[in-house]
């Protein structure tokens, strides 16, 4: 080997190492952002007891983060385009880390809820910048495909990792000899990781061009408030129903503000969301599919985590471990898909992945339950009734997220990479909120109908004059009936989720027409808006 060849090899090796560290930083940031949506779920009872939070307000610990995150993603993506993606990425991480520390040290409800909203702001700045940095840092082809695979795996596995990590940390009494409640660690763990990632970012991540003075303030206000109305309305519908006054008012306001946002954007010289982002058929199809697929997946975590703990009787840490195969499966599937996408068109990979997810959700809908009165205790077996479908779902999601993430930002103009990433993340968050609302309604409707039937049957049995159960027996029968009713409602929700995933598959097979050869090119599309 000549001196020149050796120098070239060392340069290539150094560049690969540099890109490797860049991917580590981006992946850690994305994992933190996604898992924080679920990591506190298992800790909620402990938070409620320690801070004396009213049960009606407890859901705001989760909802506050989701609202800030979902409504600010579009703005966060555009800020990265205008003021530098690395800078916005670092600011987002720092805000997220500081907010996590404030939440972990909170001594009252107000401080915790404010900290969770501030976390959402930090996440909304960091997440779209992270995806845009992959699109602009890694060369098109295998390197970028692998990077997107890791990003997609972190996005998909984050919810499961959050449940596992939340269960483990909540069970700890302290760390390094410090007397700290376990639930606080679910937030405090983010502080050193986030600050370290922000400090290392200038060393491994390039900065993009900035375009200060081009921020579309009217678009930012109307778009953010419109998304806030939608996310809040969908979240409220899941708990209080679609006919609730505040649900309808919030959704109506959200739709009206988003309509105004579209009018503002058409007239803006430098719109927050350029319409050219949606004019590519493949990209638009990717956005729609990534709206529908997470809607079903996030709802799976919601219902299945409750089923595993309440019906099967698993402890929080056992419930977290039950989702470990999902994390492994999605990482494996993402890795395999990142290699296949160099030779196979995205339509076939994402289409197959969504169909696998349909099968998984249908499998979950077959969880055993008893609808007779009095209900007998029926519990699914993890190995036969849960595990096969968790694995199937993880493989499906891994095969879906990688190609759809790649096609959603491919051929974007460099100046639109951030807002394009913001649109993708927004679709996932709004889709997740809508999915929970729709599937929650499907479950609640079945549960309400079945509960009325059980109550009528119990009243008839009491009038029949036959032997009556003791108060202890009656309490146990009611408990069993409640678990069976929940399982039937969850099964119905999974079936609806399978229908939503089937729709995502139909969109993918029909409209995702980009070829795998095109994904190896860097040139942005020149789309002219009339």
Query: Which of 32-41, 56-65, 115-124, 437-446 is most confident?
Result: 115-124
Q: Distance between CA 477 and CA 482 in Å, rounded? A: 9
Q: Identify which of 193, 157, 178, 164 has the alpha carbon closest to the alpha carbon of residue 43.
A: 164
What pairs with residue 175 in β-bridges?
Answer: 178
Q: Between helices 190-204 and 3-35, what is the axis angle to 10°?
A: 150
Which among 350, 356, 328, 327 is positioned nearest to 338, based on CA atoms?
Answer: 350
Band (319; pLDDT cuts 50, 70, 90) = confident
DSSP string, 254-314: HHHHHHHHHHHHHH-SS-SS-GGGG-SHHHHHHHHHHHHHHHHHHHHHHHHHHIIIIIS--
Q: Which CATH superfamily is domain 1-139+173-215 in?
A: MFS general substrate transporter like domains (1.20.1250.20)
How far apart are alpha carbons 355 and 91 in whole angstroms? 39
| pLDDT for 169 beyond 50 | yes
Contact between 460 and 354 (Cβ < 8 Å): no
Could you tell me what percent of the chain has a pLDDT over 70? Answer: 93
What the block records as the tokens of 494 is 């999974």
The pLDDT value recorded for residue 3 is: 47
Per-residue pLDDT of 23-58, as tens digits, reads: 889 988 888 888 887 788 777 878 888 898 887 677
User: How many whole angstroms separate alpha carbon 118 and alpha carbon 60?
Assistant: 13
Cα–Cα separations (whole angstroms), residue 45 to 145, 149, 319, 423 = 41, 35, 16, 34
> What is the reported pTM?
0.85
Q: Say if residues 378 and 369 touch (Cβ distance below 8 Å).
A: yes
Mean pLDDT of the chain: 85
Question: To which H or E segment does residue 179 belong?
Answer: strand 178-179
Please tell me the chain's helix, strand, coil percentages from 3-state DSSP, rounded to the nearest 5: 80, 0, 20
Every domain of the chain and the residues it spans: 1-139+173-215, 216-271, 280-522
Check whether domain 280-522 has CATH 1.20.1250.20, yes or no: yes
Asked if domains 1-139+173-215 and 280-522 share a fold, the reply is yes
């Amino acid at each position: 080997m000549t001196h020149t060849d050796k120098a070239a090899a060392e340069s290539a090796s150094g560049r690969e190492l540099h890109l490797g560290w860049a991917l580590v930083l981006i992946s850690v940031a994305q994992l933190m952002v996604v898992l924080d949506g679920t990591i506190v779920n298992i800790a909620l009872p402990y938070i409620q007891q320690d801070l004396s939070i009213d049960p009606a307000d407890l859901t705001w610990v989760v909802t506050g983060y989701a609202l800030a995150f979902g409504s600010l993603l579009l703005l966060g993506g555009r800020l990265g385009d205008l003021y530098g993606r690395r800078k916005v990425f670092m600011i987002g991480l720092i805000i997220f880390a500081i907010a996590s520390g404030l939440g972990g040290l909170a001594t009252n409800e107000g401080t915790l809820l404010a900290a969770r909203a501030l976390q959402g702001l930090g996440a909304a700045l960091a997440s779209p910048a992270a995806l845009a940095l992959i699109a602009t840092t890694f060369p098109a082809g295998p390197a970028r495909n692998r990077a997107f695979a890791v990003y997609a795996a972190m996005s998909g596995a984050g919810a499961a990792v959050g449940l596992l990590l939340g269960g483990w940390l909540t069970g700890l009494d302290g760390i390094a000899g410090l007397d700290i409640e376990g639930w606080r660690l679910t937030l405090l763990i983010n502080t050193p990781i986030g600050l370290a990632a922000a400090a290392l970012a200038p060393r491994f991540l390039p900065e993009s061009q900035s375009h200060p003075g081009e921020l579309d303030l009217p678009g930012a206000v109307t778009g953010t408030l419109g998304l806030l109305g939608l996310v809040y309305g969908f979240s409220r519908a899941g708990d209080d129903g679609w006919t609730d006054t505040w649900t309808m008012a919030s959704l109506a306001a959200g739709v009206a503000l988003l309509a105004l946002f579209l009018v503002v954007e058409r007239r803006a010289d430098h719109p927050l969301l350029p319409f050219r982002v949606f004019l590519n058929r493949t990209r638009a199809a990717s956005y729609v599919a990534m709206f529908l697929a997470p809607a079903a997946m996030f709802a799976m975590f919601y219902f299945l985590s409750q089923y595993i703990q309440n019906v099967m009787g698993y402890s929080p840490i056992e419930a977290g471990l039950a989702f470990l195969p999902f994390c492994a499966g999605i990482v494996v599937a993402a890795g395999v898909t990142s290699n296949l996408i160099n030779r196979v068109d995205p339509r076939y990979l994402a289409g197959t992945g969504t169909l696998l997810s349909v099968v998984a959700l249908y499998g979950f809908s077959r969880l055993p339950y008893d609808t007779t009165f009095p209900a007998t205790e029926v519990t699914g077996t993890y190995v036969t009734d849960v595990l096969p479908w968790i694995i199937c779902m993880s493989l499906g999601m891994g095969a879906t997220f990688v190609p759809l993430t790649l096609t959603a930002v491919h051929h974007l103009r460099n100046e639109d990479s951030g807002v394009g990433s913001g649109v993708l993340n927004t679709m996932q968050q709004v889709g997740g909120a809508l999915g929970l609302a729709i599937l929650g309604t499907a479950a609640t409707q079945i549960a309400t109908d079945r509960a009325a039937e059980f109550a009528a049957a119990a009243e008839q049995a009491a009038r029949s004059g036959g032997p009556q159960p003791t108060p202890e027996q009656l309490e146990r029968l009611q408990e069993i009936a409640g678990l069976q009713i929940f399982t039937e409602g969850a099964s119905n929700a999974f079936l609806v989720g399978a229908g939503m995933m089937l729709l995502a598959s139909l969109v993918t097979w029909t409209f995702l027409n980009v070829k795998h050869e095109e994904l190896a090119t860097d040139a942005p599309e020149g789309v002219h808006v009339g």
